[in-house]
Chains A and B, each alone.
Chain A
């Protein structure tokens, strides 16, 4: 959005419905969201460093079981970094380090006796760009169960179940042996979700899963996410506030705060609440500014 110092015109240009002076994004109603979070994942004083650079600072929040939690905020506010530290994907980055604790059903995933590989199986991840393996559709889904040593009665059934859950079965059932690269972007992303579901995780982390997709494919993924909350806890990073409003039960707003001495920008959690509260009744003025399009 174009930088503009005039407050009034900014309100108008910053949102889609320019006729009203203050435009609210309205959270979709998926039934009441309880006041209390029943956490699947919890962050306690989580700081994430790359070398000496602190990318995320002092995050305390909980991710509700069978809920969708959205992480929103401007670029560089550390939401993807935080997401990747929730299943230890950040371990793969040289120099990345997490302090504080991330507990998964009460167990700290950064405890020394914890196996990062098992953490990643239980807490799956879907990436920004669809990343199917250069294999057949079937083998893409069967890959996870095979590598983790699952011994299902029938791999065919497992693959069908995962693809059905990911709302892809009908489109691919006749071409399971064909390469996954032949699918459209939206189908590839649903295949990646199916692949993740196949190893039966508890939590699915999604890092801007729709940013490379068109609106129709985005809608299908969003519907799928809502469907999946029956069985899974979902955490989604999104740049799209409307998307957060449409799918998320709770939303966390992050922003980047420059360090007084070094000037390095560190991501901080500003506000975490039910999505309807975040969008209709934000408590922090920075959240208010962001959701009404005044910055970011």
Chain B
């Protein structure tokens, strides 16, 4: 306090300021980190593209896997991925959003039980995906389901995986809605439910939608829990219902990468491009929703 106030000079405490050697070195470290991350991603995309582009044609979408690489396609994997992810969304969104609403808007935060639930939700979001696969496997065995390679089982595992994430984004989106909005509504004689459905939730929907899409795109890229459940690696039929066998894009990629023939590796790269494209599309939808509908208070 004294030395600072007594010093008459306006020169900063750091010798050399922003152009000192330490600052420059630090800046270079930062630049290198960004550069490294960027180059890594770029290499991955470019090499995958070079490997897979020749095979990214219409056969990819129309053909079933085959022992002959030139005849093989990822049609059941594409359909399987879409079906599994849709069912996952159907399971997760109502449950996750409802749970988030309850925890954020109605649960008494002083109650020890609610606090334990809250803490657990936070922790569950960090549990590795394979654990959810094992959990689903165990649960299905316990109720006596013999064939676990069914769409609904896969969707259950993926739902468990992203449920905590959806709960957390729902809570955060609700928390971002100012308390004044709730008070303003209640002070007019609105009931707590009217306040929720007409003010708080509509204001939070963009955030919830964005977070949910990102969570679903994480589920889309998961292979481990589905493999544990015995998802098929070679499917020569379209998935046609909740109890149908299925495969998904990550599993198809996993399968083809393991084959000795070079042609299958090309197929795997092409499928990876497809999966990347799908994830990119979902994430852009999420970002668009966020930018267009997000409210600034």
Contact = CB atoms under 8 A, between A and B. Distances in A.
A77 interface: no
A267 to B, nearest CB: 21
Contacts, number: 69
A134 B186 contact: no
A147 B184 contact: no
Interface stretch (B38-46, B147-155, B165-173, B175-183): B175-183
A120 B190 CA distance: 8
A188 to B, nearest CB: 11
A107 B110 CA distance: 32
Interface of A: 87, 89, 92, 94-95, 117-118, 120-122, 124-125, 127, 129, 131-134, 143-144, 147-148, 192, 195-196, 199
Contacts of B86: none
B20 interface: no
A144 B191 CA distance: 11
B116 interface: no
Contacts of A95: 110
Contacts of B145: none
Contact of B187 (A94, A120, A132): A120
**Among A92, A127, A133: residue with most chain B CB under 10 A:** A133
Nearest to B186: A120
19 contacts: A87-B187, A89-B183, A92-B186, A95-B110, A122-B189, A129-B180, A131-B180, A131-B184, A132-B184, A133-B199, A134-B295, A144-B189, A148-B189, A148-B190, A195-B184, A196-B187, A196-B188, A199-B188, A199-B189
A135 to B, nearest CB: 9
B194 A147 contact: yes
Interface of B: 108-110, 178, 180-191, 194, 198-199, 203, 295
A133 B181 contact: yes
B192 to A, nearest CB: 8
Contact of A121 (B183, B188, B295): B188
Contacts of A131: 178, 180-181, 183-184
A252 B191 CA distance: 32
A134 to B, nearest CB: 5
B185 A147 contact: yes
A144 B188 contact: yes
B207 to A, nearest CB: 13
A195 B188 contact: yes
Given A89-B183, A127-B183, A134-B203, A148 B110 contact: no
Contacts of A127: 180, 183-184, 187
A199 B199 CA distance: 17
Given A129-B180, A131-B181, A147 B189 contact: yes
A124 B184 contact: no
A132 B185 CA distance: 10
A144 B194 CA distance: 11
Given A94-B109, A131-B184, A143-B185, 11 more contacts: A117-B189, A120-B187, A121-B189, A127-B180, A131-B181, A134-B181, A134-B203, A143-B188, A147-B185, A195-B188, A196-B188
A133 B185 contact: yes
B189 A118 contact: yes
Contact of A94 (B108, B186, B190, B198): B108
A124 B199 CA distance: 18
B138 to A, nearest CB: 39
Contacts of B184: 127, 131-133, 192, 195
A95 B108 CA distance: 10
